[in-house]
Amino acid sequence: MVFLDDKFLFDNISSESMNIKLVTLGDDDILNEYGLPYEEAIKSDNTFNKNPCYSEDETTIEPITLQFCLCSEHGEAYEWDDYTLENICNWFWQREFKPFISF
């Protein structure tokens, strides 16, 4: 699993339509880049009729912290207001599991 793009879908709603991007911040909380360079190891098994079967590796998975930037269509970051923050929080907080799909 890799998140390299700043765009994603959650609950069939695109991040672009919500005007947010996935970002990576440095230790000083300064925006380093758009996207999140995260990888998860998988293993391949070719014993099933020579067709590869992929599964998660048996390693311990570390929690991922996602950070978002509110931005205009042109990628210019701007400050969160109370209305936007409430709208984004309502989108993310769901009673049922919703897949997070990175582009």
Q: Which two tokens stand for residue 95?
A: 């009673």
Which residues are paired to 71 by β-bridges? 77
Of residues 40 and 93, more confidently modeled? 93
Regarding pTM above 0.95, the answer is: no
pLDDT of 49-75, one tens digit each? 667 666 665 666 667 777 888 888 777
Q: In the chain, what are the domain boundaries?
A: 2-102
Query: Do residues 46 and 54 touch, judged by C-beta distance below 8 A?
Result: no
Q: Are strands 100-102 and 8-10 parallel, antiparallel or unpaired?
A: antiparallel
